[in-house]
Structure 1
Amino acid sequence: MKVLFVCYANVGRSQVAQAYFDKLSQHNSDGAGIAVNDLIAKGNLSSGKLKDVRDNRSVVYIRRAFGVDISEKERQQLTPAMIDQADLVIVIAERDRWPDYLKEGGKVVFWDIPDGVGQTDEFVHDVFGQVQRRVEQLVEEIG
């Protein structure tokens, strides 16, 4: 089974979900963001590796919580092909931001977990904790 984790910028929630899922599960996974290209074009997000994102707390959190270094990982823009290739798509982005080709139902599942951008460290850690708990439930369900 291949699971695709999607958030807004492919910087925080989807990265934590994928890293933890990979630690707990033998299934394949990938991650993407619904607005990576738009954010880069507007200058709101640097292109390239996660380590280049200013104040990227997910890189530090994942290293501490899971012992995994994702700093060299590249962010990816979500595409319809990525959805087609996945068996299960977990979307952790606000529904009003979804592209037209991404619709809940079938293999697309929505996790209602807030974005931590611009929030306190405590809030961000709570967000990442929510992601971890949902991943644990997912792994329990699919094996």
Structure 2
Amino acid sequence: MTATKPRVLFVCVHNAGRSQMAAAYLRELSRGRVEVLSAGSEPKERLNPVAIQVMAEEGIDIASERPKILTVDAVQESDVVITMGCGDTCPIFPGKRYEEWELTDPAGRPVEEVRAIRDDIKQRVQALLGELLPG
């Protein structure tokens, strides 16, 4: 980790669901103590409306977020890179911490399934936060 705030990058293919929900949770739960980025290897034009809905149920508004393209700079500047099914499109740099979170893509899924994905993401983010900011 760097001496400053840890920086975490969440990456999925479309940056429209999983990575956006994870980034929103980490932003919210870290209360500004972690820098959070998210991106996609093939970003969509807009966020998944069901992801927006299920995060709003948690009191977190992601409606103004926009999918962003994954850049080499974003990976290089991050301490932890968490991928969610982006395969080999994520560049690998020595000294970075990489994790692959096996999560179902919420695209086209009914709200009940997206809630379950959201809850899984929240638990993983809480565990990550405990590792990044112990105590």
Shorter-chain TM band? 0.7 to 0.9
Work out the CA distance in 1 between the residues paired with 2:29 and 2:13: 24
TM-score by length of 1: 0.78
The percentage of aligned residue pairs carrying the same residue is 28
Compute the TM-score of the two structures, normalised by the length of structure 2.
Answer: 0.83
Over the aligned positions, Cα root-mean-square deviation in angstroms equals: 2.1
Contact 2:78 2:96 in 1 (8 A): no
- 1:76 pairs with one of 62, 68, 77: 68
Could you tell me which runs of 5 or more consecutive residues in structure 1 were left unpaired when the two chains were aligned. Answer: 37-44
Aligned to 2:19: 14
Q: Of Structure 1 and Structure 2, which has the larger fraction of its residues in helix?
A: 1
Q: Report the equivalent of 2:3.
A: none
Q: Which runs of 4+ in 1 moved over 6 A?
A: none
Match of 1:111 in 2: 101
Aligned with 1:113: secondary structure?
coil
Q: How do 1:1-143 and structure 2 match up within 5 A?
A: 1-25=6-30, 26-36=33-43, 45-46=44-45, 50=46, 53=47, 56-65=49-58, 67-95=59-87, 98-99=88-89, 101-102=91-92, 106-143=96-133
Shift of 1:68: 2.5
Which amino acid is 1:28 matched to? Answer: E
Separation in structure 2 between the aligned mates of residue 56 and residue 128 of structure 1, nearest angstrom: 13
Q: CA deviation at 1:102?
A: 4.5
Contact 1:94-1:112 at 8 Å conserved across structures? no
Cα gap change, 1:20 to 1:100, in 2 (>3 Å) = closer
Alignment length, in residue pairs? 126
Deviation (angstroms), 1:133: 0.7
Distance 2:106 2:13 in 1: 11
